[in-house]
Structures are given as structure tokens and as C-alpha cells.
């Protein structure tokens, strides 16, 4: 290695790189400490790590009592996060995330020892090395695995709460090179900030989750009266969030929708049993009474300063309106219907189709998708419907996670 005095240009270049990395770390500190939902934070963290230390791929693992879980990963061509799995496991208290992941021995080793690992070239590791990585690392696609840098995220009690792993460092000529000792320091700084930010985000999420739990229980009361289980509103609210995200709405708006949409049928609490639980077809008068659940629900939720309850009020009132104006209670058409109600309408009908009712069998996932698509411009807003179609993969994973038994 050349000394700095022997090559002033190289020394200047190294200084510039250090300054750039320092600037980037300061920027990351500011960005990571701003309150944001956990999933947005994790995605942001990986992007920043790969900007500061250019590399082919990155992965982030979080630890809990069950072990280490891959929660977010990125490479050149794909970003993957298991938002739905996190939601299932952490928000809705259901299994659905990945279990402790023994497929990455490097991350497991770092989590166990609490020490970073800098592997210059995985091909030079002996067969007896316990953390020997798999040569066809799933994150790498067509790239050949060479160098790895992984560091622990350690909380203030000295407990390892996660592992951040970077794969194949790229230099300024885009050649794969080993991670340097300065890279180790940079990643350690990043992990220190990340550990605090992730902890704060998890605490904030915990608070939000207890809020959601309360809302789900209240909304379930209406569902139980209707003979439904609480599963309908869980699935339906997750579908709503997936569609809103596919429409490019902000994470905050999507989250508000996730919390607000379960209340769409809360007005059924005020519908008499004789109508709500009538086994046969309703008379015209009874149908009018039943349709009042929209107006009654909106009244129940009205007058709050809370954004979740305000949105819930709009959804309760508008979720049976139709794009073509043939819905109820007001026969609004097109953009007269608020957007959140247009999203909820699709999610609500789709879930009703995929579930058995006294008067009909359950349609299969693909069949229900086709039936929904056929209603573009009639029952449903074509733009929202396009977003629903584009989110098919995520919707299917929610459907599978809460599959009706
Ligand atoms: Fe309804
Ligand atoms: Fe519903």
C-alpha cells in the first residue's frame, strides 16, 4: 500500500472520500432520526448505506425473541421488503414473517458474537469457517459473491438488535474490491445511529399498534353482529393499504387508511337485529334501513379532530357509493366520492367475493380478481382498480396470510 506522503494525489482523493462519507453520515443521522414508520426507516437505511459504501447488495436483519429475521434487502435490480410480513407479525399479531433465518451464516455469526465481520474474499475462506456464506447468495442475482461487510446494531444495553450486511464493495471504477477498515468504521457509525432509530420506530409503532388493536376490536363488534368474524376487516384494511401504496400515496396516508378502513361498517351496530340478521331477502323498506348503516356509521364517527376517525367517517359514508352513481346513500358519482371510500369499496367487495356467505360460495382468488376487473368504470373507479390490479402480488400474500378457513 502506498503511503500518503508518497502519493499526494491519492492522499487528497482519500481525504475527499472521507469528507464525502462524513457528510453522508451526517445526512443519514438527520434523516434516520426524523420520525417515520419502521418500514420506511429500514428502506431508507439500506439506500443510504449503499450510497455511502457502494455495493452490489445490502440486507438488514432484526433480532427478536425468535431469532434473526431478514426484514429488508436491496440489490441493483430489486428492492424487497417484507412489509406485509412485518405488518402481520408486528401490527396484527399474526405469524406471517420469516422465521429466524439460518440461511445467512454471516449475519447469524455477527448477531451471536456482536462483532463485525469483514470478509475480503469469500473464496479464500476455509471449509471449517462457521460463517462460510453460500456462494449463490440469493441477493446477488448474476453477480459473483466476493466481499462482505456485516456489522451489528447494538442497543444501549449492549444487546444486538440487528445486523446490517453489505455485499461486494465497488470502487470508483466499479470494480469489486474488499471493504476497507475505514468502511468498517463508517458502517459501525451507521449501525449505531440505526440501532437508536430502529428502537424509537419500534416504540412508536407499538403505540400505533395498540391504537389499531383498539380500533379493530371496536370494528369487530359490528362484524360479529353481522355474523362475520373479525378477519374480514383485517384483510380488507390490509388490501386498502396495499392499493393506496400502489397509487403512490404517502406512507402516512396509507397508514391512516389502514387504521381508518376497519370502521367502514361500524354503523351496523345501530341496525336492528330483525333486519341485520334476517336470513331471507330484505323487503324494500328493510333494504333502506340496512343502507342506513353508512349514514349511521358516519354519524358515530363524526366531529373528531383525529385524522384516522375523520377518514373513517368519510369511508363509512362513502363505501357503498358506485363510480357510475348507482350506489348509496347519496348516489354520488366519479370523483364526487372521496378517494378513500373508492379504495375501500374495491377492498370490501373483493373480500366479500373471496369469502363464503349464506347466500353464495366463496370465489377463488383469480376468479374474484376477474369479477372486480369487469366492474371498471361501473362499480369502481378505473384508476383505483388499476392500482388494485398492480398490487395483485401483495394482495395475494395478505389473502394467503388470513385465508378463510
Ligand atoms: Fe357496508
Ligand atoms: Fe365490509
- Helices 284-301 and 307-318 pack at an angle, to 10 degrees, of 170
Tell me how far the alpha carbon of residue 272 lies from the centroid of ligand 1, in angstroms: 15
Could you tell me the pTM of the whole model?
0.57
Tell me how far the alpha carbon of residue 345 lies from the centroid of ligand 1, in angstroms: 9
Q: Give the CATH number of domain 226-401.
A: 1.10.3210.10
Tell me how far the alpha carbon of residue 264 lies from the centroid of ligand 2, in angstroms: 7
Q: Domain 8-201 classified CATH 3.30.450.40?
A: yes
Mean pLDDT across 358-379: 90
> How far is residue 172's CA from residue 182's CA, in Å, rounded to a whole number?
16
Q: Kindly compute the dihedral angle of the four CA atoms of residues 68, 74, 77, 82, in this order, to the nearest 10 degrees.
A: 60
> How far is residue 38's CA from residue 302's CA, in Å, rounded to a whole number?
30
In DSSP notation, 222-256 reads HHHHTT--THHHHHHHHHHHHHHHHTT--HHHHHH
State the ligand closest to the CA atom of 291: 1
What integer pLDDT is reported at residue 83 of this predicted model? 39
Q: What is the mean pLDDT of the chain?
A: 83
Tell me how far the alpha carbon of residue 237 lies from the centroid of ligand 2, in angstroms: 10
State the ligand closest to the CA atom of 229: 2
Lowest mean pLDDT among 92-106, 148-162, 239-253, 257-271: 92-106
pLDDT-derived band at 90, boundaries 50, 70, 90: very low
Note the pLDDT tens digit of each residue in 13-37: 666 666 666 777 777 777 776 666 6
State the residue for C-alpha cell 432484526. 62
What integer pLDDT is reported at residue 136 of this predicted model? 62
State the ligand closest to the CA atom of 352: 2
> 36, 268, 277, 360: which is the annotated catalytic residue?
268
Note the pLDDT tens digit of each residue in 44-54: 888 889 888 99
Is 159 one of the annotated active-site residues of the chain?
Answer: no
Question: Would the CATH topology of 8-201 be identical to that of 226-401?
Answer: no
Tell me how far the alpha carbon of residue 347 lies from the centroid of ligand 2, in angstroms: 8
Tell me how far the alpha carbon of residue 76 lies from the centroid of ligand 1, in angstroms: 44
Note the pLDDT tens digit of each residue in 101-143: 446 788 989 999 999 999 999 888 888 888 877 666 666 666 7
Domain spans in the chain, listed from the N-terminal domain onward = 8-201, 226-401
Mean pLDDT across 157-186: 92
State the ligand closest to the CA atom of 321: 1
Amino acid at each position: 500500500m502506498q503511503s500518503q506522503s508518497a502519493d499526494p494525489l491519492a492522499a487528497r482523493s482519500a481525504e475527499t472520500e472521507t469528507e464525502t462519507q462524513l457528510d453522508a453520515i451526517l445526512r443519514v443521522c438527520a434523516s434516520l432520526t426524523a420520525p417515520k414508520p419502521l418500514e420506511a426507516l429500514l428502506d431508507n437505511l439500506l439506500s443510504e448505506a449503499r450510497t455511502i459504501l457502494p455495493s452490489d447488495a445490502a440486507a438488514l436483519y432484526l433480532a427478536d425473541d425468535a431469532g434473526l429475521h431478514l426484514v429488508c434487502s436491496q440489490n441493483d435490480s430489486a428492492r424487497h421488503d417484507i412489509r406485509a410480513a412485518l405488518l402481520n407479525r408486528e401490527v396484527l399479531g399474526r405469524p406471517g414473517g420469516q422465521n429466524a433465518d439460518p440461511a445467512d451464516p454471516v449475519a447469524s455469526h455477527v448477531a451471536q458474537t456482536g462483532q463485525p465481520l469483514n470478509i475480503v474474499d469469500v473464496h479464500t475462506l476455509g471449509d471449517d469457517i462457521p460463517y462460510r456464506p453460500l456462494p449463490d447468495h440469493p441477493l446477488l442475482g448474476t453477480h459473483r459473491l466476493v466481499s462482505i461487510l456485516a456489522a451489528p446494531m447494538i442497543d444501549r444495553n449492549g444487546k444486538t438488535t440487528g445486523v446490517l450486511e453489505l455485499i461486494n464493495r465497488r470502487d470508483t471504477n466499479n470494480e469489486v474490491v474488499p471493504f476497507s477498515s475505514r468502511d468498517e468504521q463508517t458502517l459501525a457509525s451507521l449501525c449505531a445511529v440505526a440501532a437508536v432509530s430502529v428502537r424509537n420506530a419500534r416504540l412508536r409503532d407499538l403505540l400505533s399498534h395498540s391504537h389499531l388493536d383498539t380500533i379493530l376490536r371496536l370494528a369487530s363488534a359490528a362484524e360479529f353482529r353481522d355474523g362475520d368474524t373479525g378477519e374480514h376487516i383485517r384483510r380488507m384494511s390490509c388490501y386498502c393499504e396495499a392499493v393506496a401504496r400502489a397509487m403512490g400515496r404517502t406512507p402516512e396516508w396509507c397508514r391512516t387508511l389502514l387504521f381508518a378502513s376497519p370502521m367502514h361498517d361500524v354503523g351496523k351496530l345501530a341496525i336492528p337485529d330483525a333486519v341485520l340478521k334476517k336470513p331471507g331477502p330484505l323487503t324494500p323498506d328493510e333494504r333502506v334501513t340496512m343502507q342506513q348503516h353508512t349514514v349511521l356509521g358516519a354519524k358515530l364517527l363524526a366531529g373528531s379532530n383525529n385524522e384516522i376517525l375523520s377518514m373513517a367517517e368519510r369511508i363509512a359514508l362513502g363505501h357503498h357509493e358506485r363510480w357510475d352513481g348507482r350506489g348509496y346513500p347519496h348516489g354520488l358519482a366519479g370523483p364526487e366520492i372521496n378517494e378513500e371510500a373508492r379504495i375501500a369499496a374495491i377492498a370490501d367487495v373483493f373480500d366479500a367475493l373471496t369469502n363464503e356467505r349464506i347466500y353464495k360460495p366463496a370465489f377463488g382468488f383469480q376468479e374474484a380478481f376477474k369479477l372486480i376487473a369487469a366492474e371498471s368504470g361501473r362499480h369502481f373507479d378505473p384508476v383505483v382498480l388499476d392500482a388494485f390490479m398492480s398490487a395483485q402480488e401483495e394482495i395475494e400474500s395478505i389473502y394467503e396470510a388470513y385465508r378463510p378457513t
